[in-house]
Chains A and B, each alone.
Chain A
Amino acid sequence: MGDKVDVVVAGSGAAGSVFAATLAEAGRSVLVLEGGKSRTLDDLYSSQIWARRLKWGAPTVEETGKHPIWYNFNAGHGYGGAAMHHYGVWPRYHPEDMRSRTLYGRALDWPFEYDVLRPFYDQVQEDVGIAGDAEAEIWRPPGAPYPLPPILVNEHGMAFAKGFEAKGLHTSPIPIAVLSRDYKGRPACIWDGWCDAGCPTGALANPLAVYIPRAVAAGAMLQAESQVTRVMMNKRGDRAIGVEYYTPDGLRHMQEAETVVLAAFTVENPRILLNSADSSAPSGLANSSGLVGRYLLSHAAVMVYGMFPQATNSFFGTTGGQLFNQDAFDKQSDAGAYGSRQWEIGLATKPNDLLGIAMSRPDIYGQSLHKFMHDGARHIGAMVGVCEDQPNIDNRVELSTTKDRYGMPQARTVYQYSDDALKLWEIAGKEGVAITKAAGATDAWHGPLGGQHIMGGTIMGSDPARSVVNQFSQTHDVANLFIGGGGVFPTSSCVNSTFTLHATSLMSAQHLRDHWAAIAA
């Protein structure tokens, strides 16, 4: 058993690193237990093949239901988690995303309004350095202007911009956590388009570039290959006293702590809670509402491609895109489908991998594939439409009967997109192809239904009977147990989740810091 610490954090990704930095800088002893391997920025080889090492490699999550959530693609493993190889597109949620039930009688309300989260967005943005143009981003909710000017827009972004303009749609520079200039000791991006393989220069705000170094400088300890399996409780069952974890040698360990933060990503957090069932919490820890694992959420995404007569040089740039559009953000802007949509435009595209040139047309093979690859290398253009899904109590994470090598039941997900999300996806696909044609592409097409960003499963709310955590991501049932990550979101909006989960994690970590005596005592 290791020495007792003030805070033990499960997971070293986006959320875990924010908790670790905030609490270590407040003088707390922090231990981060990471299930995957130790990695440094020097491990991030520029290769779509090597990039696959960073993806989920732990026991398989069983995906059931009508639609997969693409867990293995969306999850990461090892220091930095999925955030280590994420693309840094960081828009904010809009005020109406948090008041859906009040405003429209649909979905769920968050336990606070946008204004409560706004200062945390502003703080995170200042910490990591977001590039963008707040004025041109006409849909943007109130907030401090971006600390950095927009990123590069090359012939790829410009080609699509023409199509949006022709359709009467607006584009703005994309809000992105990629440095357009040197910032706080980190170098500006050189637009090599290797974001998916993990950015080793530190220009993209992955955890190893920003919050982990801060946490470590303040004395936090990181321990790799330590898979958290249970939260340990006191005899009364009302306080967490630490966590159980396993190391690859098969040994079981116990780490005592004053407070526990689960930041092991959306599916793994409920898995740990459900596996922590004991006599005082027979249906799983922090589960008096019965909602642990429920309201799992994802975005329905559509990739749209065009082959342009002019060079797009799309091997260059940032994988998350160059330009942005939220003209269809209004929840009721698309007839017959409730929810918002957005476009991320001009995605840097390499030859191989799931989002590469070859996979954009999986039907082509033989010599035609060679020709397609040569044409696409300099002429393909790509953008992605992201559509909101609606919270559904039946979409869930549960425990499987299959166990992993440590005897922990694997997670099983059950997922089905709402009719609204599927309709938005269909509208987006058609709109994207029309825009791409209007942009002058000689050929335009879209890909199949894809899942992006996984949220929900441990949702926040003011009513303990209808939510798992409160507005500070603190479980209703166990005061010294916190959840970090997009798992606490009751609605998905259509925006990428990582900026918002940084903001909620920062709010939560500061709450714990400022109320330490009351919570940890």
Chain B
Amino acid sequence: MTPDDINRRKFVRNTGLGALAFNIGGVSTLLTPREAYADGVKFTSLAAEDAALLAAFADHLLPGAGAAGIAHFVDHQLGVDPQECLLMCKYFPEIKAPFDVFYNGGIGALRDVVTHQYKKPFGALAAAEKDAITNDLWQGSIENWSGPPPPLFYMMVRSDAVDVVYGTKDGFDELNIPYMAHIMPKEKW
């Protein structure tokens, strides 16, 4: 018997996909981050230009993360009680709640570095330029950086990107591995 052969449907108590409760026009609506991105749902925790930069950077770390709704995912999670927050950053001793301080600090520092060095937005950089910045972040050798520890910022955004692209049932399908849920996430994320 291989894992894939097992009929797991009987163990799945709810087959709804993970979705976030977004506030649209005062009404709480359940959407996946991908849907929220496609619908252009307004950001509530991040400034719009910061969300755009986060998405562009994440898209470089894991192409497709932008369309998978990383910015909406992070934006949503920054708005919840830190105890209920689902971002991986909450494990890290160096990152303290409220977590928007970490994200805003990192995004702001990234913008400053890109502006200072290249005089254009991150999204408009050539792939090699984006790589140079990314490698410097990961190695902690980035100059004129005024945000949280650069490798930490790189790792957290990368982790958020992996969450929205591969951490869901769709992501498992993409990897061609069975999700095998006991209980599917049924609301929010």
Contacts and interface: CB of A to CB of B under 8 A. Distances in A.
B18 A373 contact: no
Contacts of B167: 47-49, 350-353
Nearest to A314: B177
Contact of B180 (A36, A77, A192): A192
Interface residues of B, number: 53
Contacts of B60: 365-366
A46 B155 contact: no
A71 B177 CA distance: 32
Contact of B62 (A36, A68, A365): A365
Interface in A28-54: 36-37, 42, 44-50, 52-53
B28 interface: no
Contacts of B92: 72
A130 B163 CA distance: 33
B142 interface: no
Contact of B166 (A36, A192, A194, A351): A351
Contact of B91 (A73, A351, A356): A73
Interface stretch (A55-63, A114-122, A275-283, A325-333): A55-63
B182 interface: yes
Contacts of B181: 45-47, 192, 194
Interface in B83-106: 83-88, 90-94, 96-97
Interface stretch (B1-9, B35-43, B44-52, B111-119): B1-9
A354 B90 CA distance: 11
A366 B127 CA distance: 10
B61 A369 contact: yes
A423 interface: no
A44 B184 CA distance: 9
Max count, chain A CB within 10 A of own CB: residue among B81, B131, B167, B185: B167
Contacts of B13: 42
B159 interface: yes
A266 to B, nearest CB: 15
A377 B86 contact: no
Contacts of A351: 162, 166-167, 171-172, 175, 177
Contact of A366 (B61, B86, B177, B180): B61
A393 interface: no
Contacts of A77: 83
A312 to B, nearest CB: 11
B185 A377 contact: no
B138 interface: yes
A373 B175 contact: yes
Interface residues of A, number: 55
Contacts of A315: 3, 172, 177-178, 180
A57 B83 contact: yes
Contact of A57 (B63, B82, B158, B186): B82
Given A351-B175, A352-B167, A358-B159, A57 B90 contact: yes
A45 B162 contact: no
A161 to B, nearest CB: 19
Interface string A189-223: 01111100001110000000000000000000000
A363 B168 CA distance: 22
Contacts of B61: 365-366, 369
B178 to A, nearest CB: 7
Given A55-B90, A313-B2, A49 B180 contact: no
A45 B166 contact: no
B11 A201 contact: yes
Nearest to B171: A351
B134 A377 contact: no
A344 B186 CA distance: 33
A49 B185 contact: yes
Nearest to B186: A45
Contacts of A352: 159, 162-163, 166-167, 171
A315 B6 CA distance: 14
A358 B93 contact: no
A7 B62 CA distance: 53
A200 B175 contact: no
B124 interface: no
8 contacts: A50-B185, A72-B92, A351-B162, A356-B162, A362-B155, A365-B62, A365-B134, A369-B162
Closest 9 CB pairs of A and B: A57-B83, A352-B167, A46-B181, A377-B175, A351-B166, A63-B93, A316-B3, A73-B91, A358-B162
